[in-house]
Structure 1
Amino acid sequence: MAADVAADLIRALIDTMGAPGVDGDGWESLAIILEFPGGEFNEAHGYLYRPDGVVAAMASDPSAVGPAVTAYTDSHYRLGEVLPRKILVQFDRTTGRYDIAFEEADEARWKVTPRNFRELREELRPKFN
């Protein structure tokens, strides 16, 4: 079941993503951060990585992906448990491989700023060996 809800989550994030000025079909991998300030999901943003080296900022519609996010977190957390601060979803479209990481405590982890955005987008780039 966990693989099904993960696949549904990734599919929902891809189906609702927007990346202004970027070809939505030319990417090969993505990294998306799901944010849960105050314990409620409200944001999905990250990067698309193209084979030609172009990296584009992107976001997915939180209200559209909300049901898939809830199904995924429900498969990992019991009713009443505190949800993570953030979840990182990494997906490689060419291989179908993915990874989903949880950040339970550090609100600043994976936080994009003007000073770190170049380094962070490389840190988040999926690297499956």
Structure 2
Amino acid sequence: MSDNVTADLIRNLVDTMSGPSVDGDGWASMAMILEFPDGKFNEAHGYLYSPDGTISAVAADPWAVAAAVKSYTDSYCQAGDALPLKILVELDRTSGKYNVTFEDADESRWKMTPKNRKVFREELRPTLG
């Protein structure tokens, strides 16, 4: 791992993500939700957004990215502090810009439900360009 824990986290997510129909080379942006139920990381899932409008559901193997997630959270959280409920990692691959947002209180944030399922993917689309 390098000294840049954010770059390591993003690189690990990108390198290990997969899904049923993923354009591994052509995507332009990514939104990935990291989940920490009961204070432990256990899931990384989200979407890839391609220039042609295709949105692909993806997930990263939690075992494969666990070390990068731990290094990242260790760099922001003090020993004994509660981990966030969720973290949203956004990357605009074209510009190289990224954003990482912590959610500490609202478990329903970034959660797909029957009510929001038609707009959820668009709500997560990064606007970092």
Q: Which TM-score tier does this pair reach, normalised by the shorter chain?
A: over 0.9
Distance 2:50 2:118 in 1: 15
Structure 2 unaligned runs (5+)?
Answer: none
Distance 2:13 2:114 in 1: 24
1:53 correspondence with 2:61 = no
Query: 2:22, 2:56 within 8 Å by CA — same for their partners in 1?
Result: yes
The two structures, once aligned, show a CA RMSD in angstroms of 1.2
Output one character per residue of 1:12-42: Cα deviation in whole Å (capped at 9) or x when no partner.
Answer: 0000000212221110000000000000000
| 1:114 positional shift | 3.5
SS in 1 for 2:81: coil
Output one character per residue of 1:43-75: Cα deviation in whole Å (capped at 9) or x when no partner.
Answer: 000000000001111000000000000000000
1:107 correspondence with 2:107 = yes
What is aligned with 2:72? Answer: 72
What is aligned with 2:25? Answer: 25
The list of structure 1 runs, each at least 4 consecutive aligned residues, that deviate by more than 6 angstroms after superposition, is: none
Distance 1:128 1:22 in 2: 22
What is aligned with 2:84? Answer: 84
SS in 2 for 1:14: helix
SS in 2 for 1:71: helix
Q: TM-score, normalised by structure 1?
A: 0.94
Please identify, of 18-27 and 69-78, the stretch whose mean Cα deviation from structure 2 is larger.
18-27
Distance 2:91 2:50 in 1: 13
Query: 2:22, 2:58 within 8 Å by CA — same for their partners in 1?
Result: no
Distance 1:117 1:93 in 2: 25
Aligned residues: 127
Structure 1 unaligned runs (5+)?
Answer: none
SS in 2 for 1:6: helix
Distance 1:12 1:118 in 2: 29
Alignment-mate amino acid for residue 51 of structure 1: P
Distance 2:35 2:88 in 1: 9
Distance 2:6 2:109 in 1: 22
